[in-house]
Amino acid sequence: MLPRVPARRPSLPSAPAPLLLAAIALSFTFVGCPCISGPVNASPGLRWFLFSNFGASKICPEMLKSGVSLRLQDRSPAIGRFFPMQCSYDTNDAAQTVTVHIAGTGYGYLQPAKRVGFSLTTSVEYRPDFQIAGDDIYVWGRLNRIVQGPSFQLGYVENPVIDVMANVPPFGGLANLVGNQIVAGEMTRGFTVLYNEDTGKDFTLGILMPPLRPHHPFQVDDDERYTFANEVVEVNAHQRDFLGPFEIADSDQALYLKISVQGPPVDVMVVDKPTGDAWREAYQTGQPLGPPPGPVHAGGPLQPGLTETRRYALRPGLYYVVIDNTAAAGLVAPPITLLSPLGGSAAQVSYLAQLGE
């Protein structure tokens, strides 16, 4: 177990997507000050002024930094990700709303289609708000209305039978309906950003009211580390998941990964963002599975039954953590059994990604 470093608290990177409201400026100014929290909580005009002047301009930079987990239902493992690639926003002072225009691509795993790749464009209007509750600040993005779309375009479909019928009613309509339910549904639930000066920032889809907190597979004990993500993902045989990307802001920081797997062993590989973007594009467009198109900076096999804490000392930059359950990369491959002659079963991976020294 690594010793705790008693050095200065690491400088925090920008909040990962989709932390739309960028509550950093607000929280450092107002958390813990009872003389100001009452007036802020009581004044919608003041809350809008603070958001529109300090948070709105940070929406798109934050949205474009990281992927969004996709789930079939609350607390179920993530089965894919959506990666915003284009973003713009408009604020409406009269209505006190912000409209976010998003376009991006992603992948998911659905039976019987198996792996699917897709693109999505949508414009969603949120009504931002926040409340100071003791030492915590709750920032909400409440869905106001869907302005346009979502326009969901199904791309690669791994199952050739479903692929042939993807544009034939009712299969084509069903595929688009499923895609809209998973992708657009996640984006339109609203979100909660929870900030505490001692424990850092946390995020969940949906609206949580004080004193509720997001549900995570791991308890976070080290308040000197910034938490990127704390979730469970399901990686089926011959599939991958691209976690992040996560930002290392300076050379004194390291990526900490607390991780465990149920099911078969998997490979964990850390690649830089350019390598990960190219690798992910090939994956979600159905190109043959292969090794990464660039260097692997760190990683190694993860065996079931153990919970490991790994520290990756990396140069400043953005990095994906790739969970690989294929035979095409890494050191382990999905096991072949009589019941599964093509090899493999799903791996359920719980992980906590943090930034520390």
Measured at the CA of 261, the angle between CA 255 and CA 266, to 5 degrees, comes to 80
From CA 37, how far away is CA 220, in angstroms rounded? 27
Looking at residue 45, its amino acid is G
pLDDT at 41: 57
Question: Running along the chain, 357 residues long, what does each successive block of 10 average in pLDDT?
Answer: 38 38 36 44 68 71 82 83 91 90 90 87 86 82 85 85 59 55 67 73 74 72 78 95 93 94 96 97 96 96 94 96 96 71 77 91
Name the CATH superfamily for 226-356.
GOLD domain (2.60.120.680)
pLDDT at 317: 94
- Contact (Cβ atoms closer than 8 angstroms) between residue 158 and residue 283: no
pLDDT at 351: 96
Structure tokens, 62: 């934050």
For the chain, give every domain's residue range.
24-205, 226-356
pLDDT at 215: 63
pLDDT at 292: 97
pLDDT at 324: 97
Task: Supply φ then ψ for residue 352, to 5 degrees.
Answer: -130, 115
The 3-state DSSP class for residue 147 equals strand
pTM: 0.77
Task: For residue 154, count other CB atoms closer than 10 A to its CB.
Answer: 19
Sign for the pseudo-dihedral over CA of 149, 153, 159, 165: positive
Q: What DSSP character marks residue 57?
A: G
pLDDT at 86: 94
The tens digit of pLDDT for each residue in 105-154 reads 999 888 888 898 988 888 989 888 778 888 888 878 788 988 887 788 88
Alpha helix segments (H runs only) across the chain: 24-30, 34-42, 44-54, 59-63, 160-164, 171-179, 185-187, 273-284
pLDDT at 75: 77
Q: In terms of C-beta density within 10 A (0-12 exposed, 13-18 middle, 19 or more buried), how is residue 52 classed?
A: middle
The 3-state DSSP class for residue 17 equals coil
